[in-house]
Structure 1
Amino acid sequence: MPSEQNALLAQVPLTVSPFVTLPKAPTLPHNYASIPSTLPPSILNTDSDDPSAPPTYVTSGTGFRAHPSTIITQNKALCDQLDTAASDSRKKIHDWRQAIDERELAEKRRKAPGWLDSDAKILRPATTVPPPDTKPGASLLDADEQNTDALRPQESANDMGSQMDRAFG
């Protein structure tokens, strides 16, 4: 099979383009020296006071030098600080909302004392005592014409005032 491919390629004419240049081997300077297989110790941490400290080969433009493990521990400490600040702020927001709810509840209790403190939330109308000459199961509609005067309240000026006093406390 390789001979068939070569025969096929031999039939394709080659053209030389003036725009394409083939790569050439680079010329090495006369003082070229190959890199050794092992690197010498770093010279970046020569100014360190602690010789057991890891080499500081990460240097910023401001002159800050650090080892990657030092940077990682600083980043973890910063993340922990941000997490605690976020949890503290969530707690403050929760306390703030709870204080607002407590103030609103206190205002409601001031307007209606005893209403929010009891479990009885159903309002029932006050029952009135029927006049003595009516039957307990009798209705106003069932009353005959003679007893209608007995069932109607007496409308005098004194009665009206007492009813207003009862209604408005």
Structure 2
Amino acid sequence: MHDERSHPLLQQTALTVNPFLSLPTPPTLPPNYASLPSTLPPSTLNAAPTSSAPDLPAYVTSTTGGFAAHPSTIAAQNRSLLEQLEKQKLEGERAVEAWEREVRERELKERRRRAPGWLDREEKLLEPVKAGKEGGGVRNVMDEEPEVMKGGEKEKELVGEDLGAAMDRAFGRSEMG
């Protein structure tokens, strides 16, 4: 039995009009509105499997229809591609490091060829070799001690004369005055 009257509880509630509240209105449709077709295409979840994954439905298809696969198959292919790219990146880095090491070794070998022993020691102080001590060659009179004759005051004069003569021989004679 259906009663057309309102509920007794609602009859006791006072009805007020709120200017800030608007009742819903039906939406206006755009002019290019097209309704859904009455028959929907078959579900893609029931798509035929592919040869790469026979147990999974291939419901991700390309726009041309030439490729179809399951999302997990696509994700697995992407992971394997990333692994391959990482492997190639590491191999490339190793090849570059080997090439740089080879260049450094070649440069070091060239430096050692030019200056043998120089790069193999910690001390880097160059000392000239005195040619007079190695037998034959030019004698440096400034490095030699003057021969001293014994005899007090006469000894000092001779040392001074020998030193002056040695200087003249080393640098040439110079006149003062």
The 5 Å alignment of 1:58-137 reads: 58-60=60-62, 61-126=64-129, 130-133=144-147
Structure exhibiting the larger radius of gyration computed from Cα positions: 2
Amino acid at match of 2:28: P
Distance 1:154 1:51 in 2: 98
Distance 2:108 2:94 in 1: 21
RMSD after superposition: 4.1
Q: How many residues align?
A: 127
Gaps of 5+ in 2: 1-14, 131-139, 149-158, 172-177
Amino acid at match of 1:131: E
Q: Please tell me whether the aligned partners of residues 44 and 57 of structure 1 are also in contact (alpha carbons under 8 angstroms).
A: yes
TM-score by length of 1: 0.56
SS in 2 for 1:69: helix
The 5 Å alignment of 1:151-166 reads: none
**Alpha carbons of structure 1 residues 98 and 153: separation in structure 2 relative to 1, 3 Å:** farther
SS in 2 for 1:75: helix
Distance 1:51 1:85 in 2: 27
Aligned-pair CA distance for 1:64: 1.5
* Aligned residues with identical type, % of pairs: 31
**Alpha carbons of structure 1 residues 131 and 62: separation in structure 2 relative to 1, 3 Å:** farther
Aligned-pair CA distance for 1:62: 4.7
TM-score by length of 2: 0.54
**Alpha carbons of structure 1 residues 126 and 32: separation in structure 2 relative to 1, 3 Å:** closer
Aligned-pair CA distance for 1:4: 5.9
Q: Please tell me whether the aligned partners of residues 131 and 150 of structure 1 are also in contact (alpha carbons under 8 angstroms).
A: no
